[in-house]
Amino acid sequence: MLNIVLHEPEIPANTGNIGRTCVAAGARLHLIEPLGFQINEKQLKRAGLDYWDKLDVTTYVNFEDFLAKNPGAKIYMATTKARKKYTDVKFEDDAYIMFGKESAGIPEEILVDYKDTSIRIPMFPDIRSLNLGNSVAIVLYEALRQNDFPGLEEAGNLHRLSWDM
């Protein structure tokens, strides 16, 4: 199972949206405090809709607590400061993919220890970053694609029309 890690997320609607994406993708969500909101906040629940109770979510008091409770985790750091693209790595099926807070990203004092597993989403140079929820969806679904979408429904079904017509 893939793992999404949010380091000090600030905007409840982003975290709610990411929670919903994690439920749809079968991923776990890890939240590293301090959070910019309360877990029970209305905006968080609204963005996660009725999926929040289905979410496998764990909260940690800080990054050191996260590391202590997930020993040996292979952590990819999604950051605009990385040299490798997210498509340049092969994500393990139990990888941890960490994203930083909306206003500042992942602190450089953490990134220096993860130079080899830091990844970026390419974009025009004059753009600071993408929305956090969009970034998570892009990288998470690439990791799922690389692992052949384990356990996910890959084909839909039209009720009124047949594809075989």
Binding residues: 100, 121, 129
Cβ density class 58-67: b for 16+ within 10 Å, e for less: eebeebeebe
Confirm if 4 and 136 have CB atoms less than 8 A apart: yes
CA–CA gap between residue 83 and residue 122 (Å, rounded): 10
Binding residues for S-adenosyl-L-methionine: 100, 121, 129
Residue 7 in 3-state DSSP? strand
CA–CA gap between residue 21 and residue 53 (Å, rounded): 13
